[in-house]
Amino acid sequence: MASTPPGQRRLQILQALAEMLEQPKGDKITTAALARKLEFSEAALYRHFASKAQMFEGLIEFIEQTVFGLINQIAERQSDGLAQARDIVAMLLNFAAQNPGMTRVLIGDALVNEDERLQLRMNQFYDRVELALKQALRIAASEGMAHEADAAARAGMLTSFVIGRWHRYAKSGFKLNPSQDAAVQITLLLS
């Protein structure tokens, strides 16, 4: 039997962790439960990750790479600042809908009682999202579609709106689509 390459095993661990986070009850995930799900020992987990916090960091890295890669794509293909902001918010809501386990990381629910630096990293993530929205709204202001002074406030409101939708989605047991009826509210926040 051929052995699994180390990078592949790390990916399997992260995928299993994300799947476990999809459980609506949101129970605390232990390394013992994760090892059972993967059908190998906890020691095998620790050969690939030094700690559970490092496993969560792997999920956060996936989130950051995916989300900011998509934000960059939106900025490259969409020159209209308001459309950029609208597309970024829609992408964030759709990302959560497609990745329910990651939503628990995004809202910090999965990080409760974990290493504090994980929540600090998520706070930096929110700041970067807000900055991307602020940049899009400044473009809109330069195009005469919005007011420059409003860019920061609206970016903050949009970020809060997204986080609120993520919370609602997680609290519903991943049943309420975070994008449902969002278009109207996004339009109101941008007008």
Q: What is the CA radius of gyration of the chain?
A: 18
Note whether 112 and 52 are within 8 A (CB). no
User: In 3-state terms, the chain is what percent helix, strand and coil (to 5)?
Assistant: 75, 0, 25
Residues in the chain: 191
CA distance 185 to 74: 20
Residue 92 CA: distances (Å) to CA of 85, 88, 103 = 11, 6, 10
Top-confidence residue, 152 or 80: 80
DSSP 125: H
Residues 118-156: pLDDT tens digits?
Answer: 999 999 999 999 999 999 999 988 887 666 668 888 899
Token pair 């700041």: residue: 127
- What are the boundaries of each domain within the chain? 52-190
Residues 104-118: pLDDT tens digits?
Answer: 999 998 998 889 999
CATH number of 52-190: 1.10.357.10
